[in-house]
Amino acid sequence: MAEESMPNCRFYVQIDGISQAVFTEVSGLQVETVVQDYEEGGNNSFIHRIPGRTKVGNITLKRGITKSNDFFNWYKGLINGKITRKNLSVVMYDVKGTEMLRWNFDSAYPVKWLGPQFAADGKTIAIETLELAHDGLRLE
């Protein structure tokens, strides 16, 4: 593997500054601007496309099931009316272990929890999924 390449398989997730190295997948690193069409009166040759609000996607974390119920309990707090917000960072490292990029998400809280899928003939690891809403994305 070339040293200048950027493999995306070496990453850590930090929740409130504490590294959580057990995640197998992180998705939802996205920002999208809604585009609004504006039709100008008397001009039928085109439609103006004007940028509107910008929104960020939810972050989805996946990990192998553990004995800990911390994710479910965090989500259960929301169900019981207690929103516990935490700062989250996804940190990507190069092959030498040097930090390359960091995505920071402010005031994240769980909005969806998925337990593992079971099949009698299944040979895959049981995966727990947690989806988080947040107040914004900062890229460092």
Nearest 5 degrees, angle CA 20-CA 23-CA 29? 100
108 or 4: whose pLDDT is higher? Answer: 108
- 25-59 pLDDT, tens per residue? 899 999 999 999 999 888 888 899 999 999 999 99
| Domains in the chain, number | 1
Report d(CA 26, CA 7) in Å as an integer: 14
For residue 3, is it within any domain?
no
Angle, vertex CA 58, rays to CA 52 and CA 63, nearest 5: 160
Tell me if 29 sits within 8 A of 102, measured CB to CB.
no
Report pLDDT for 21: 60
Q: How confident is the model at residue 9 (pLDDT cuts 50, 70, 90)?
A: low
Distance spanning both ends of the chain, measured CA to CA: 25
Q: What is the CATH number of the domain that holds 120?
A: 2.30.110
For residue 116, is it within any domain? yes
Asked, for residue 6, whether it belongs to a domain, the answer is: no
2, part of any domain: no
Residue 77 is part of which domain span?
Answer: 11-139
pLDDT tens across 63-101, in order? Answer: 887 777 888 899 999 999 999 999 999 998 888 888 999
pLDDT, residue 7, reads 57
CA dihedral 57, 63, 67, 70 (to 10 degrees): -20
Cβ-contact 130, 60 below 8 angstroms: yes
3 pLDDT exceeds 70?
no
Residue 52 domain-assigned (yes or no):
yes
pLDDT digits (tens, 9 = 90+) for 106-134: 999 999 999 888 878 877 788 889 999 99
Give the residue, 2 or 32, on which the prediction is more confident: 32
* Domain membership flag for residue 4: no
